């Protein structure tokens, strides 16, 4: 009987700890399909940039962060929109509450920027902790009513050259056989 109690306790502990052992990420994308993390600032225009929460967890109820440009980025922030409850602005400190436990991926925020075609090569927009906090905070990670920190933060690269590989005409033709 004792073994059954200990076995049950171990099983409960292992299930509980593995539920919290997920990863949390915030990504910035330049396209509405959420696949491209690069953009060219080559002409004056207004662009939308998307912040997405990803991870291997069951869901989250919100997130708090800021967006910081690196030196050389000349775009000007125009505003944020979201379908969720938002307090603050992304350049300084924004908290977004989802209103429920939502599984990833979650479109957290759409930011609008005015580009002028003048950003330096390989500048970035980065997700950073707001001034108040030591990290990017997810108030209810994995829907267990526990605060967690998002440590995998992905930036949007601006005017970075795309890597190329040397090839031959024969290799290109072989792709279409």
Per-residue pLDDT of the chain (177 residues; tens, 9 = 90+): 544 433 333 333 333 333 344 567 889 999 999 999 999 999 999 999 999 998 767 788 888 899 999 999 999 999 999 999 999 999 999 999 998 888 889 999 999 999 999 999 999 999 988 888 777 776 666 676 666 666 667 899 999 986 655 667 776 666 676
Element (H, E) at 28: strand 24-29
Question: What is the DSSP-derived secondary structure letter of residue 8?
Answer: H
Domains, in order of start, for the chain: 22-158 (2.60.40.680)
Contact predicate 101/61, CB 8 Å: yes
**Tell me, what's the pLDDT at 68?**
95
**Tell me, what's the pLDDT at 9?**
31
Contact predicate 153/127, CB 8 Å: yes
* SS3 state at 41: coil
């Amino acid at each position: 009987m004792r073994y059954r109690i200990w076995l049950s306790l171990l099983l409960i502990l292992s299930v509980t700890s593995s539920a919290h052992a997920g990863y949390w990420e915030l990504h910035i994308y330049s396209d509405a399909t959420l696949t491209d993390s690069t953009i060219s600032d080559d002409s004056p225009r207004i662009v939308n940039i998307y912040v997405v929460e990803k991870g291997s967890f069951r869901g989250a109820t919100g997130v708090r962060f800021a967006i910081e440009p690196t030196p050389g980025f000349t775009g000007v922030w125009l505003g944020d929109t979201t379908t969720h409850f938002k307090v603050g602005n992304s350049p300084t400190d924004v908290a977004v509450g989802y209103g429920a436990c939502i599984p990833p991926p979650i479109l957290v925020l759409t930011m609008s920027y005015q580009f002028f075609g003048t950003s330096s090569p390989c500048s970035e927009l980065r997700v950073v902790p707001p001034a108040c906090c030591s990290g990017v905070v997810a108030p209810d990670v994995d829907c267990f009513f526990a605060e967690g920190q998002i440590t995998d933060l992905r930036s949007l690269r601006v005017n970075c050259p795309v890597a190329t590989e040397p090839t031959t005409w024969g290799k290109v033709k072989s792709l279409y056989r």
